[in-house]
């Protein structure tokens, strides 16, 4: 550590120095796209916006690139990491999206949005909206030839699930996507939410951690933990009735003391909001935060994958 600088934020995930320098200790590994022999899925990276550097990694079952087939649902995925670490090209997410694309027969679009604190909010939301609009317009031949823009799904974990909610609200307030594509469903996996008032089961440590992290992510916020981007149930937050999708799946884990209490409160709030869509809850017994990324072959991960796969095919 440079003795001439002072730490303004220090955690096991990252350090931030007063000169703006950021040290990340997690989620910095990358892996290239290509053909995955285990799942028989092809992937490639495509630049979405040259000005911001935002790109996506596209995934498609390899045999569908040449075969005649019905067009595939498009899944736009937002990686987790508290909006401060990880990427769409990390080995963990590459493995997960290969698996989802293979088992669900979807065309997956994994978004590499910009991270805070170098790029505070709303950069991640702006990037995610741009990537979703780009994907829904069929801007790449894989999408135009093989993707069904009338069947677009959103999904994400942790900080990425926070993005899913906010993008679904944005689509509602903007009356849909510019390309007139339709967001059919959204999956929130262990979503990152918070708030000034505690909810049942929420630990003091979790809220104290978020009190320190949120100003780093969104320094312009004046509402703190009740910022509508972080607390969808806060006074002044957009109505949950504006969620722009037909169905919603909210997932948590029994031992996820970080996200489960807020995920539960969110699920209940959506149910009681008067939203016209259908919302379901899935809780994984005995597991912790985003366990399915670290233990993809355990029984609860396989059960969760089965439910995710079914979500794309249900009417």
256 part of the active site: yes
Q: What is the CATH number of the domain that holds 274?
A: 3.40.50.1820
Catalytic residue among 90, 256, 284, 301: 256
- Quote the mean pLDDT of the chain: 95
Domain assignment of residue 287, yes or no: yes
Domain assignment of residue 168, yes or no: yes
Domain assignment of residue 7, yes or no: no
- Check residue 67 and give its pLDDT: 74
Among 167, 169, 121, 137, residue whose Cα is nearest residue 46: 137
Q: How many domains does the chain have?
A: 1
Mean pLDDT of the region 263-267: 98
The CA-based angle 101-83-141, given to 5 degrees, is: 35
pTM, to two decimals: 0.96
Domain assignment of residue 294, yes or no: yes
- Check residue 2 and give its pLDDT: 58
Catalytic residue among 158, 252, 284, 301: 158
Domain assignment of residue 12, yes or no: no
Distance between CA atoms of 157 and 313, rounded to whole angstroms? 20
Query: In the structure, what pLDDT confidence band is assigned to residue 3 with cuts at 50, 70 and 90?
Result: low
Domain that holds residue 305: 36-313
Domain assignment of residue 19, yes or no: no
- Check residue 315 and give its pLDDT: 67
- Check residue 166 and give its pLDDT: 97
Query: In the structure, what pLDDT confidence band is assigned to residue 66 with cuts at 50, 70 and 90?
Result: confident
Mean pLDDT of the region 158-162: 98
Distance between CA atoms of 11 and 209, rounded to whole angstroms? 9
Distance between CA atoms of 87 and 92, rounded to whole angstroms? 9
Query: In the structure, what pLDDT confidence band is assigned to residue 69 with cuts at 50, 70 and 90?
Result: confident
Domain assignment of residue 8, yes or no: no
pLDDT in tens, 188-211: 999 999 999 999 999 888 999 999
Domain assignment of residue 25, yes or no: no
Mean pLDDT of the region 157-185: 88
Of the chain, the percentage scoring pLDDT greater than 70 comes to 97
Ranges of H-type helices in 13-154: 91-104, 123-136, 141-146
């Amino acid at each position: 550590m440079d003795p001439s600088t002072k730490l303004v934020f220090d955690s096991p995930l990252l350090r931030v120095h007063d000169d703006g320098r950021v040290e990340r200790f997690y989620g910095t590994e990358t892996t290239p796209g290509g053909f995955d022999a285990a799942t028989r899925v092809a992937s490639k990276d495509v630049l979405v916006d040259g000005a911001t550097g935002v790109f996506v990694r596209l995934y498609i079952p390899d045999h569908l690139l040449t075969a005649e087939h019905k067009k595939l649902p498009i899944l736009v995925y937002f990686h987790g990491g508290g909006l401060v670490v990880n990427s769409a090209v990390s080995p963990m997410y590459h493995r997960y999206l290969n698996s989802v694309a293979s088992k669900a027969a979807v065309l997956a679009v994994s978004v590499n949005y910009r991270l805070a604190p170098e790029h505070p909010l709303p950069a991640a939301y702006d990037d995610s909206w741009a990537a979703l609009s780009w994907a829904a317009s069929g801007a790449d031949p894989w999408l135009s030839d093989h993707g069904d823009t009338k069947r677009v799904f959103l999904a994400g974990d942790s900080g990425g699930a926070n993005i899913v909610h906010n993008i679904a609200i944005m689509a509602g307030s903007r009356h849909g996507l510019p390309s007139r594509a339709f967001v059919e469903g959204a999956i929130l996996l262990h979503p990152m939410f918070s708030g000034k008032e505690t909810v049942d089961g929420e630990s003091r440590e979790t809220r104290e951690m978020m009190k320190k992290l949120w100003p780093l992510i969104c320094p312009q916020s004046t509402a703190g933990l009740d910022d509508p981007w972080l607390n969808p149930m806060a006074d002044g937050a957009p109505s949950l009735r504006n969620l722009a999708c037909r169905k919603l799946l909210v997932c948590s884990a029994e031992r996820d003391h970080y996200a489960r209490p807020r995920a539960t409160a969110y699920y209940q709030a959506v149910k009681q909001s008067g939203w016209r869509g259908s919302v379901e809850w899935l809780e994984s017994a005995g597991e912790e935060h985003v366990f399915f990324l670290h233990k993809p072959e355990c029984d609860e991960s396989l059960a969760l994958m089965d439910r995710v796969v079914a979500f794309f095919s249900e009417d």
